[in-house]
Amino acid sequence: MPQSRHKAATPVGSKDAGRDKQSQLESFKSGNAAVLTSNYGVQSPDNHNSLKAGTRGPTLLEDFILHEKITHFDHERIPERVVNARGCGAHGYFKVYKSMVQYTRAAFLQDPEIETPVFVRFSTVVGSKGSADTVRDVRGFAVKFYTREGNYDLVGNNMPVFFIQDAIKFPDLIHALKPEPHHEMPQATSAHDTFWDFASLMPESTHMLMWTMSDRALPRSLRMMEGFGVHAFRFSNARGDTCFVKFHWKPKLGVHGLTWDEAQKIAGVDPDFHRRELWEAIESGNFPEWELGVQLIDAGKETELGFDILDATKLIPEAQVPVQIIGKLVLNRNPDNFFAETEQVAFHPGHLVPGIDFSNDPLLQGRLFSYTDAQLSRLGGANFHELPINRSVCPIHNFQRDGMHRQSINKSRVAYEPNTLGNGTEFRVDGAAQGFQSFPELLDSNKTRCRSASFDDHFSQATLFWNSQTAVEKDHIVEAFRFELSKVDVPDIRQRMVDNLAHIDLKLATRVAATLGIGSPNPKAAAGRPGFRDYRITNKVNEDAALSSAGKLAGSVKTRRIAILVADGVDAAPLRRLQQDLVDAGAICKLVAPRLGTVSTSSGRSLVVDHTFGSMPSVMFDAVLIPGGKTCVLTLSALGDAIHFVLEAYKHCKTICALNDGAQLLGSLGFGLVGNPETVLVPTQGIMIADARKVLDGQVSRDFIAAIGRHRHWDRINVEAVPA
Ligand code: HDE
């Protein structure tokens, strides 16, 4: 095949799929549909019957059509990723806001006019490919930029630090985290003995544990989480000046989490919750967006940070070095084929372009070896860079040849350099001018397996994180530790872990220990154990608002899901107006009823139902609207599922708006109509009881939308007492 045919114009391709489907349909209708063939183009005579000796006789060995089909099927699976196995992806583009020429020569960071195609894969870390989306876990956030200088991969996470400091501990970490080897349980969770055994013996993991026990490990949506490059990288400009850089992705929709109760229930109701809503957002034209931010640290200034910039268990507080926003990422196209794209995409932190370089972070350095190695086993052979999703958009010229599944048909007698026989096909090696240049760092030191003493403080930033959380966020962290550690059978492990937490904050440790049937936390217990040097840096900042999700509300209702609870007899007029206002503000409204089909309104018309209470419980929504209508309210008030729906939404601190007698459904919560709706006292946050007459002037919609924009009403009363 000629080179020009082999090389796709762009690996992220144009969206021809819709057109293809249309033309296929037309061909089919006109009787010109393509005929089913074997993989080698031979037309198949029958796709329902294998070749047999007689209609009831044995199948014949010579049925090559059957063999081919079954053989291909037998080999349809490839090994899943050893970590980050469960993922979903999307195509899009990246655009820089202003030229970064002063800091980096990377071409895709120069011109605000240029859109660089990207493919992004989000993932959970621990679970198998078929595990649920909403488990408590770190999320992978891997971005492949198809730049004109080659592919650049920013393979990050949704948390800015990591569990370990040195790559050599990664297999131990993952072995401890994955299901226990004797019985392969539990799936996709850190809540078991081996993980906490390891974590409690590895004090360097403490800071990351604070993140994984926080709501950051339970994103409401992949579109509502931050991303981080984690390690320090280097920028270098055309003059060779360098600085350190930390990368941040800031979601346009704000940072929001699920509650732990919701996350667990959603895992059963819709294990594909995150991938489904990413897909649906893109299909509906609500393209997820993030802004790229950088923290830049002049070379030499890194020593003034107060901790080691090479230590991946540390973040650079934004209160110390502000994040500069430099560009935006938009995801605007779903993959055409999950396997070909999302499964076969191969990221690698060593896919760099000129102008971006590594640091000596020992965790990053180990990753540089691991990714290709993992992909050789997962994708088979050395040619996975030729798969459409992995190809660069710029031409590839080199003398690498052959290997399993080679697709390029290289013409020419020479596959070496230098040569004189190549007839002009020899590729120039372009020295200093354009190619990738490693930062010429001066290195003169002994080989050693020692860890730098500057990595020794494992608690100060965990304390910084804890101090930066709101009271509600702190409660969630305490509850998460209690849940996880209560799943640990061995009391000594539970004790060791709370003793470690006492190094962060004694109150935190004491609260966690309270339900675990162990002794009081003792920060001195670990004295002398490896990793516990009595060394603490002084945080330059004591709190950093950027570490809390509370200040990152987008305030908008875009793509928020609103449940409208209906039954026969519903008052449709105010409902329609409110629904329209919500949709205009970007929300998604769904009618939930006792059964599918239609409900009749109080004025004798009918409304189409989207879901039943059984199939789409309240955990699948962000807010609830209860319209009025005598018969409707009577029906719903007598229905356990409808009452549970409201109780659960209340417990999860979601906004609930009831119109007129719809408020009776709140009766089980102790709220209801007290005389005239206008005089109703609404005693707690995010519960609105509105007069339907006021819907028309738009005020009810405005209040409802503003309340949903707060995401949750954490200061709501009596939540613990609600038995949902
Ligand atoms: Fe990874 N990691 N990792 N990792 N990682 C993989 O690559 C590894 C680490 C991250 O969507 C593997 O192709 C080592 C940090 C993401 O395809 C593997 C170490 C961060 C993804 C691997 C780390 C990440 C992976 C599994 C410690 C955040 C999913 C199969 C030195 C900055 C990429 C594969 C995708 C996947 C190795 C630590 C991010 C085994 C050895 C820190 C987002 O190569």
Whether 428 has a pLDDT exceeding 80, the answer reads no
Whether 534 has a pLDDT exceeding 70, the answer reads no
Whether 435 has a pLDDT exceeding 90, the answer reads no
For residues 525 and 506, the answer to whether their CB atoms sit within 8 Å is no
- Three-state SS letters, 157-175: ECCCCCCCCCHHHHHHHHH
Question: Confidence class of residue 509 from pLDDT cuts 50, 70 and 90?
Answer: very high
- Ligand 1 pocket mutation, candidates 155, 228, 385, 390, criterion most atoms within 8 A of CB: 155
The structure's pTM equals 0.94
More confident residue, 670 or 345: 345
Alpha-carbon separation of residue 334 from 117, 219, 272, 357, 394 (angstroms):
13, 20, 15, 31, 23
Question: Confidence class of residue 8 from pLDDT cuts 50, 70 and 90?
Answer: very low
φ/ψ of residue 250, rounded to 5 = -115, 115
Cα 597 to averaged position of ligand 1 atoms, centre (Å): 46
- Which atom of ligand 1 is nearest to 171's Cα? 41
Distance CA 209, CA 317 (A): 17
Distance CA 634, CA 628 (A): 10
- Tens-place pLDDT, residues 328-342: 999 999 999 999 999
More confident residue, 715 or 360: 360
Distance CA 62, CA 3 (A): 37
> What pLDDT does residue 588 have?
97
Question: Confidence class of residue 19 from pLDDT cuts 50, 70 and 90?
Answer: low
Show the tokens assigned to 301: 């200034």
Cis preceding-peptide flag for 251 (omega within 30 of 0):
no
Find the length of the chain: 724
Question: Confidence class of residue 15 from pLDDT cuts 50, 70 and 90?
Answer: very low
Burial level of 74, CB count in 10 A (0-12/13-18/19+)?
A: exposed
Distance CA 139, CA 158 (A): 5
Report percent pLDDT > 90 for the chain. Answer: 83
> What pLDDT does residue 553 have?
87
- Tens-place pLDDT, residues 365-391: 999 999 999 999 999 999 999 999 999
> What pLDDT does residue 670 have?
67
Determine how β-strand 655-659 pairs with β-strand 623-626.
Answer: parallel
Tally of CB atoms within 10 A around 96:
20
Cα 436 to averaged position of ligand 1 atoms, centre (Å): 23
Q: Give the 3-state secondary structure percentages of the chain, helix then strand then coil, rounded to 5.
A: 35, 15, 50
For 494-522, what is the mean pLDDT? 97
Mean pLDDT of the chain: 92
Whether 163 has a pLDDT exceeding 80, the answer reads yes
- Give the residue among 174, 144, 288 at the shortest CA–CA distance from 220: 288
Cα 157 to averaged position of ligand 1 atoms, centre (Å): 9
Whether 645 has a pLDDT exceeding 90, the answer reads yes
Q: How far is CA 578 from the centre of its chain?
A: 32
For 480-507, what is the mean pLDDT? 97
Alpha-carbon separation of residue 711 from 546, 574, 575 (angstroms):
18, 24, 22
For residues 135 and 189, the answer to whether their CB atoms sit within 8 Å is yes
Whether 498 has a pLDDT exceeding 50, the answer reads yes
More confident residue, 161 or 683: 161
**Ligand 1 cavity residues, CB under 6 Å:** 81-84, 87, 121, 123, 140, 142, 155-157, 162, 167, 170, 230, 312, 345, 347, 363, 366-367, 370-371, 374-375
> What pLDDT does residue 25 have?
61
> What pLDDT does residue 614 have?
93
- Tens-place pLDDT, residues 670-720: 665 444 444 445 568 899 999 999 899 999 999 999 999 999 999 988 888
For atom 25 of ligand 1, which residue has the closest CA?
84
Q: How far is CA 212 from the centre of its chain?
A: 13
- Give the residue among 653, 654, 652, 594 at the shortest CA–CA distance from 624: 654
Question: Confidence class of residue 527 from pLDDT cuts 50, 70 and 90?
Answer: confident
Whether 495 has a pLDDT exceeding 90, the answer reads yes
- Give the residue among 117, 152, 154, 106 at the shortest CA–CA distance from 434: 106
Cα 83 to averaged position of ligand 1 atoms, centre (Å): 7
Determine how β-strand 139-147 pairs with β-strand 150-157.
Answer: antiparallel
For 197-219, what is the mean pLDDT? 98
Q: What 3-state class would DSSP assign to 675?
A: coil
> What pLDDT does residue 237 have?
96
- Tens-place pLDDT, residues 82-109: 999 999 999 999 999 999 999 999 999 9
Distance CA 662, CA 629 (A): 7
Burial level of 360, CB count in 10 A (0-12/13-18/19+)?
A: middle
Per DSSP, 655 falls in state E
Q: How many CA atoms lie within 13 A of 419 on its CB side?
A: 15
